[in-house]
Copies of this chain bind each other. A is one copy, B any other.
Amino acid sequence: MRLPRPMFPLLLLSVTVAVVPAAEGMWTFDNVPAEAIRARHGFAPDAAWLEEARLASVRLPGCSGSVVSPDGLVMTNAHCVTSCVRAVSTPEHDRAEEGFVAAVPADEPACAGMEINQLLEITDVTAKVASATKGMADAEFGRAQKAEMSRLEKECSADDRWRCEVVPLYQGGLHHLYRYQTYRDVRLVFSPEADAAFFGGDPDNFQFPRYCFDTAFLRLYQDGKPAVTPHHFRWSAAGAAPGELVFASGNPGSTDRLLTVAQLELLRDVQLPETLIRLSESRGALRLFSRRDAESERVGREFMLFLENTLKATRGELLALQDRALMEAKRRQESDLRARVARDPEQQRAAGGAWDTIAAATDVARRTGRRHDLVAGGLSGDLFGWARTLVRGAEERTKPDAERLREYRDATLRSVEFRLLAPRPVNNDLEMLRLEIALSRLRELLGADDPFVRLVLARESPESLAKALVSGTRLADPTERRRLWEGGRAAVDASDDPMIQIARRIDPEARASRRTWEDEVEAVIAKNSESIARARFAAYGTSLYPDATFTPRLTWGEVQGVAIEGLPEVPPLTRAAGLFERATGLAPYALAPRWAAARERLDPKTPFNFAATLDIIGGNSGSPVFNARREIVGLAFDGNMASLGGAYAYDGTENRAVAVHSAGILAALRAVYGAEALVKELTAARR
- Are B459 and A586 in touch, CB under 8 angstroms? yes
For A7, the chain B residues whose CB sits under 8 A away are none
Using A281-B284, A460-B586, A586-B460 as known contacts, say yes or no to A269 and B268 having CB atoms under 8 A apart.
yes
Stoichiometry, as copies per complex, reads 2
Max chain B C-beta neighbours (<10 A), residue from A322, A323, A588, A589:
A322
A585 to B464, CA, bound (A): 11
A292's nearest neighbour on chain B, judged by CB, is B288
Using A280-B277, A281-B283 as known contacts, say yes or no to A447 and B586 having CB atoms under 8 A apart.
no
- Are A461 and B322 in touch, CB under 8 angstroms? no
Q: Of A67-75, A166-174, A201-209, A551-559, which stretch is located at the interface?
A: A201-209
For A584, the chain B residues whose CB sits under 8 A away are 459-461
Max chain B C-beta neighbours (<10 A), residue from A270, A277, A283, A588:
A277
For A366, the chain B residues whose CB sits under 8 A away are 322-324
- Are A444 and B284 in touch, CB under 8 angstroms? no
**Contact with A284, one of B276, B285, B463, B585 (Cβ below 8 angstroms):** B285
Is A448 in contact with chain B by the CB < 8 A criterion?
yes
Interface range on chain A (Cβ under 8 Å from partner): 35 or more
Is A278 in contact with chain B by the CB < 8 A criterion?
yes
State how many angstroms separate the Cβ of A340 from the closest Cβ of chain B: 26
For A22, the chain B residues whose CB sits under 8 A away are none
A321 to B318, CA, bound (A): 17
A residues 435-473 in Cβ contact with B at 8 Å: 437, 443-444, 447-449, 459-461, 463-464
A207 to B446, CA, bound (A): 10
A residues 250-294 in Cβ contact with B at 8 Å: 268-270, 273, 276-278, 280-289
Is A200 in contact with chain B by the CB < 8 A criterion?
yes
Interface string of A275-315 (1 = CB under 8 A from B): 01110111111111100000000000000000000001000
- Are A277 and B273 in touch, CB under 8 angstroms? yes
- Are B203 and A447 in touch, CB under 8 angstroms? yes
Using A287-B285, A459-B584, A586-B464 as known contacts, say yes or no to A200 and B448 having CB atoms under 8 A apart.
yes
Interface string of A350-378 (1 = CB under 8 A from B): 00000000000001001000000000000
Max chain B C-beta neighbours (<10 A), residue from A276, A443, A589:
A276
- Are B312 and A444 in touch, CB under 8 angstroms? yes
- Are A437 and B284 in touch, CB under 8 angstroms? yes
Is A596 in contact with chain B by the CB < 8 A criterion?
no
For A324, the chain B residues whose CB sits under 8 A away are 363, 366
- Are A448 and B203 in touch, CB under 8 angstroms? yes
A585 to B461, CA, bound (A): 9
Is A587 in contact with chain B by the CB < 8 A criterion?
yes
For A443, the chain B residues whose CB sits under 8 A away are 203
A204 to B449, CA, bound (A): 9
For A203, the chain B residues whose CB sits under 8 A away are 443-444, 447-448
State how many angstroms separate the Cβ of A205 from the closest Cβ of chain B: 9
Interface string of A194-224 (1 = CB under 8 A from B): 0000001011100100000000000000000
Max chain B C-beta neighbours (<10 A), residue from A203, A273, A459:
A203
- Are B207 and A448 in touch, CB under 8 angstroms? yes
For A318, the chain B residues whose CB sits under 8 A away are 273
Interface string of A582-597 (1 = CB under 8 A from B): 0011111100000000
For A448, the chain B residues whose CB sits under 8 A away are 200, 203-204, 207
Using A207-B447, A586-B460 as known contacts, say yes or no to A284 and B273 having CB atoms under 8 A apart.
no
For A281, the chain B residues whose CB sits under 8 A away are 280-281, 283-284
State how many angstroms separate the Cβ of A433 from the closest Cβ of chain B: 8
A203 to B441, CA, bound (A): 9
A202's nearest neighbour on chain B, judged by CB, is B444
**Contact with A285, one of B273, B285, B449 (Cβ below 8 angstroms):** B285
Provide 29 A-B residue pairs closer than 8 Å at the C-beta atoms, listed in order of the A residue.
A200-B448, A203-B447, A204-B448, A207-B449, A270-B322, A273-B273, A273-B276, A276-B276, A277-B277, A280-B280, A280-B281, A281-B281, A281-B283, A282-B284, A283-B284, A284-B284, A285-B288, A287-B437, A288-B433, A312-B444, A324-B363, A324-B366, A459-B585, A459-B586, A460-B584, A461-B584, A461-B586, A461-B588, A463-B586
